Copies of this chain bind each other. A is one copy, B any other.
Amino acid sequence: MRGRGRPRSGTTDDTRQQIIDAARQLFAENGFDGASMRSVAASAGVDPSLIRHYFGDKSGLLVATMQLPINPLELIRPVLARGPEGLGHRIVSTFLSAWDVHGDVLSGLIRTSIASADRSGPMLAILHNVVLPELTAVLGGPNRELRATLVMSELLGIATVRYVLQIQPVASAPAEVVAGYYAPALQALITPA
């Protein structure tokens, strides 16, 4: 994600990178909750308003530190904004259409997270601090956090089978076929009977 479409001078890019470097270090040292926008700004030597200008909020800053080919916030927010009805299908079809072209990147993230079992690592930081709270907020009914984490389990499972282990026929099946079957399995947790 390189800003909002207008060209940047070298100096602006340098500033943006300084903020990202400071944020990456403070998130690693203090965790997502322990690192404030203000402390990142101080460490980077910039005004806090500049961080909001570039990254929106702390979640956007966390995503930027990962330099992903896909911004999960830009994907998930419109998907969630339309509410729980039909959300299972929107989640899995958006997930597959985004990651099918970057399966190697997601595979690397999953393998690193699981090999280290490091819950403070980058993939889990995004899931735990960004994706799960936003998904939980959309769910109604009891045990929302548990159900949101089970939805995430399903997505982690399919990503592992399709991109990491590449088990057939899931690995090569068309995304819309997989989404058609997996959507009700997600929806069962989003709006339980």
Contacts and interface: CB of A to CB of B under 8 A. Distances in A.
Contact of A152 (B119, B150, B161, B189): B161
Nearest to A157: B157
Contacts of A152: 161, 167
Contacts of A161: 149-150, 152-153, 156
Chain A at the B interface: mostly helix, strand, loop or mixed? Answer: helix
Chain A interface extent, by class: 35 or more
Contacts of A101: none
Contacts of A185: 150, 154, 185-186, 188-189
A165 interface: yes
Contact of A170 (B149, B167, B187): B149
A103 interface: no
B170 A153 contact: yes
A173 B149 CA distance: 11
B150 A181 contact: yes
Interface string A76-113: 00000000000000000000000000000001001101
A192 interface: yes
B164 A117 contact: yes
Interface string A163-193: 0111111100100011001101111110011
B157 A170 contact: no
Interface in A127-170: 127-128, 143, 145-147, 149-150, 152-158, 160-162, 164-170
A165 B124 contact: yes
A42 interface: no
Given A115-B115, A157-B154, A160-B156, A181 B110 contact: no
Interface of A: 107, 110-111, 113-115, 117, 119, 124, 127-128, 143, 145-147, 149-150, 152-158, 160-162, 164-170, 173, 177-178, 181-182, 184-189, 192-193
